[in-house]
Amino acid sequence: MSLPRSESQCIGCPLVDGDAPQSYKCAFCDKLGFTSMELQLHVLDEHIEQPDAADLLDILDQMNRGTEEYKKSTEIRCQEKSRGGLSYEVILAEPAPNVAVPKRPVTPGKNVSVEEIEQKLKAAEERRISLEARKMAEISIKLAKVEEATRKKDEITNEFITQTKEQLETKMEHHVEKRDAIISDMKEKLKIHAQEIEKTRETLEQQKANEQKAIEEKLKTAQALRDENIKKMLDRLKEHERRAEVVRQNKAQTQDIDGQQSPIASSG
């Protein structure tokens, strides 16, 4: 059995022929010269609030009840295993056969009645209950602190989530506004570009119409010139035909005159 929080050292003597040791040392205050009963009462009076008191009281109670009932050889060893800790080793064995159990010598001390022991046990029980209630209150306070810390943590987490959500929503709104502005700007630019394209198309069509009109006027002028040239050529051809006809007529007249003069010359 280990009592880790006691800082004292208790060394018990081995039992003599199954009897209890003559004296004990308190493991908490280092006082000497206690019997098992006196040590039990001492622990109840002075050290009941110690963390290891209950375990030591259980051991002493078993020793007090088991000395006359079981007649077993019992040895209690206690040593400090590490700083702030005790280790108890209780060894129970069958008593040696045919061994006379010597009577325990009377140890000087105060006589304690059963009523006093019961009162002290009752007071120790009340102190234990009070100690447990105080520990429960401390545990409740600690649990309340833990719950408060958890609540604050949840509040901080929820606040962080809310702030992060609001920031994201604000960024999304700014992003949407910026996107809408970019889209509107692009639409306006496309509209202006379409207007410029339409204006350019109308200008080109007007230029094409003007060029077509100029070409048609040129064609009309060329047709008129061609007709005029053809007419002039026909007139020149007619004049040439008229002149040729006049020449032919003159030539024929000349031939007729020459034929009339030749016979007259022959007769003379």
19 has which bridge partners?
A: 16
Distance CA 80, CA 67 (A): 26
Alpha helices in the chain (DSSP H): 36-46, 53-69, 114-267
pLDDT category, 139, cuts 50, 70, 90? very high
Reduce the DSSP state of residue 261 to 3 states and report it.
Answer: helix
22-47 pLDDT, tens per residue? 578 888 888 888 887 788 888 887 88
Mean pLDDT of the 217-223 span: 90
- Chain mean position to CA 223: 89
Tell me what pLDDT residue 176 has. Answer: 92
Give 85's contacts (C-beta < 8 A, 6+ positions apart).
2, 3, 4, 5, 6
Structure-block tokens of residue 145? 């602190």
Percent of the chain with pLDDT over 90: 29
Nearest partner of 133 among 43, 57, 49, judged by Cα: 49
Q: What's the pLDDT band for 9 if we cut at 50, 70, 90?
A: very low
pLDDT at 156 over 90: yes
What is the rounded end-to-end Cα distance, in angstroms, of the chain? 202
User: What predicted TM-score, i.e. pTM, was given to this entire model?
Assistant: 0.30
Domain boundaries, the chain: 1-96
Confidence label for 263 from pLDDT (cuts 50, 70 and 90): low
- What is the 3-state secondary structure of 30-94? CCCCECHHHHHHHHHHHCCCCCCHHHHHHHHHHHHHHHHHCCCEEEEEEEEEECCEEEEEEEEEC
The one-letter amino acid code at 253 reads Q
Which pLDDT value is given to residue 50? Answer: 79
239-259: per-residue pLDDT in tens?
A: 998 888 888 888 888 887 777
**If we measure between CA atoms, which residue out of 72, 44, 56, 70 comes closest to residue 12?**
56
Distance CA(157)–CA(154), nearest Å, equals 5
With bands split at pLDDT 50, 70 and 90, how would you rate the model's confidence at 88? low
Residue 74's DSSP bridge partners are 92
Confidence of residue 196 (pLDDT cuts 50, 70, 90): very high
